[in-house]
Amino acid sequence: MKRIALIGMPNTGKSTLFNRLTGASARTGNWPGVTVDLLAAKIVLGPDMVEFVDLPGIYDLHGFSEDEQVVRRFLENNPVDLVCLILNATQLDHQLGLAVQFSQLGCHCVLLLNMMDEAEQLGVRIDTQQLSNALKFPVSLVSAKRGQGYPQARELLTKALHDAVPCELSKIQSKLAQDDVVADTAEKLMARSVVMPIVLERKTTERIDRVLLHPLFGLPLFFLFMYLVFQAIYMLGAPLQDGVAWLLDGFRQLALEPLQPILPAVVFGLLVNGVYDGIATVASFVPVIILFFFMMALVEDSGYLSRAAYLTDALMARLGLDGRGFVMLLMGFGCNVPALMGTRVMRSRSMRLLNMLIIPFSLCSARLQVFLFMTTALFSPQKAPIVLFSLYLVSFAAAFGSALLLRGRLRSNEPFVLELPPYRLPTLFQVMLRGWHEVRHFLRRASSFIITGVVLVWILTHYPEANPPGGPQSLAGMLGQWLAPVLDPIGIGPQMAVVLVFGFVAKEIVLGSLVAMTGLQGAALVGYLGTNMDWVQAYSFMLFVLLYTPCLSTVATMRSESKSWGYTAFSVTWALGLAWIASYAFYQTARYLGY
């Protein structure tokens, strides 16, 4: 099987082109550093079955940061038949050097100049034939986002692949010219092949930035915008959530409850009261999760996240971080795992470790569905969005506070350089693809973890058999009583203590575990929580879930990325201690004030 490597600088549209060529769902976004690992898909090009590999963004082949080294190691250690190099057609003045480096290596390449629609609007004119003659490989203009030039690019790749032989790219460093030679060659080639306006006019972007990047109002506007997003999610998601819950409840009554006289009590209890009810409770929140991811996809594709990084850079610098750390925190809203991997764009190990410490405080999608359920159950429709928004603020406060306390031990002098891409109107296709990618990831994790977790919790609550389910003499009850001295001071009872234990494996299990513990679902579970927990206990519980030990997948990723068991153990212990202190302070203060 032949292999094509897709290579380019960050934020040039590599993943968008990869998705369009392969039909895959690589994560895309209008900010640098989205792809930080290898993504591969098989496609048919002409007579050949081809493996298409999307590599992380790379500024040059010297490979200083971790993700740049990933690219270089891949090229040096894996046979590649063709390199598909993608550059931003509006920024060739500082991207053409990468094409010059590949020309010097003498490997078979195809150069695709992306964002041709923007280049035309800005008055950029490119002589692709002149570029092709100088670089000694084919050059074509495309717009991966809108599909312009895509058929021609596919045809060009097919022809180049047919004529190509595997590239020999071992010991890349020894084959590259000095940086000043590369820069001089690129400058001369730019002068012969590209006509660019003296000033690239982006009037719309500049007008919007005068408001959104205002030194005083920029950051408050960002948080106001995110608050409005949460309000919209609640308003649009509530009826959808009720509809899904009604359908699932109807299916239970019509299809499952008639099986009760037929099946043994233990089997019916495990499969219906345990597994089905647990999955159904989580599934009812899927519409809200979908809305959340689609909203975030709109924000990412528009280019606003890069502005958020710029706005927060001054604050983050005081914490020993930079604006990229804020973007990684926002990336963690979907899942902490890819956010941890995203730190590879940072060259300083100290910077990476400090960012990896604070990323698990991001309110990920698994925590989100727990908080959506509890805020709906215990707070009014007017207060629920405010409570949820406050938890997002607490997640930022925990991250920033941790960085502030530990910055002295993890110092870094790495300079912060961030490109601010122009605002772009997201396309429906890309938003749907991005949203589906996240939803599919959530459902895949949720389905596997929830079924396992619910079965284990059901066993703990129903054995020994002679005792009432979930009672003090059951295995779950004994575990809860054992944890009582630690969790009673923060308002978490024995049943919720067991839920927390399983939440360490994966936060997706929390709701399913609660269903298995109580034997209730839907409105009955909401009523149970309203009767057995007041709002102070509920908020203390949510604080603990927000901050305490991340899931096993996050812990495993942290170990892999940091390459240190000691650092991983410290991070887990830090999160657990901070969660207890924050919940204790809130719970005891609220009780002291008479709530």
pLDDT at 443: 65
Contact 288, 241 (CB under 8 A): yes
Q: Name the CATH topology of 2-195.
A: Rossmann fold (3.40.50)
What three-state secondary structure class fits 563? coil
Per-residue pLDDT of 242-286, as tens digits, reads 788 788 888 888 888 888 888 887 788 777 776 777 677 667 767
Contact 498, 513 (CB under 8 A): yes
What's 55's DSSP letter? P
Nearest CA-CA partner of 331 in 13, 9, 32, 19: 32
* Spatial separation of the C-alpha atoms in residues 368 and 388, rounded to whole Å: 9
Helices (H), 178-285: 179-193, 203-212, 218-251, 265-268, 277-283
* Spatial separation of the C-alpha atoms in residues 158 and 165, rounded to whole Å: 13
pLDDT at 547: 92
pLDDT at 507: 76
Structural domain boundaries in the chain: 2-195, 219-592
What's 519's DSSP letter? T
Nearest CA-CA partner of 493 in 479, 503, 508: 479
Q: What are phi and psi of 129, to 5 degrees?
A: -70, -40
The set of residues, in sequence order, having a beta carbon less than 8 Å from that of 74 and lying 6+ positions away, is 5, 38, 53, 55
Contact 145, 16 (CB under 8 A): yes
* Spatial separation of the C-alpha atoms in residues 578 and 151, rounded to whole Å: 54
Which residue ranges of the chain lie beneath pLDDT 50? 28-34
* Spatial separation of the C-alpha atoms in residues 284 and 290, rounded to whole Å: 11
pTM of the model: 0.61
Contact 46, 161 (CB under 8 A): yes
pLDDT at 196: 76
What dihedral angle (degrees, nearest 10) is formed by the CA atoms of 439, 441, 447, 453? -120
* Tally of CA atoms within 13 A in the half-sphere of 262 that contains its CB: 6
The set of residues, in sequence order, having a beta carbon less than 8 Å from that of 229 and lying 6+ positions away, is 295, 296, 299
pLDDT at 584: 94
Contact 567, 381 (CB under 8 A): no
Angle at 407 between CA 354 and CA 322, to 5 degrees: 65
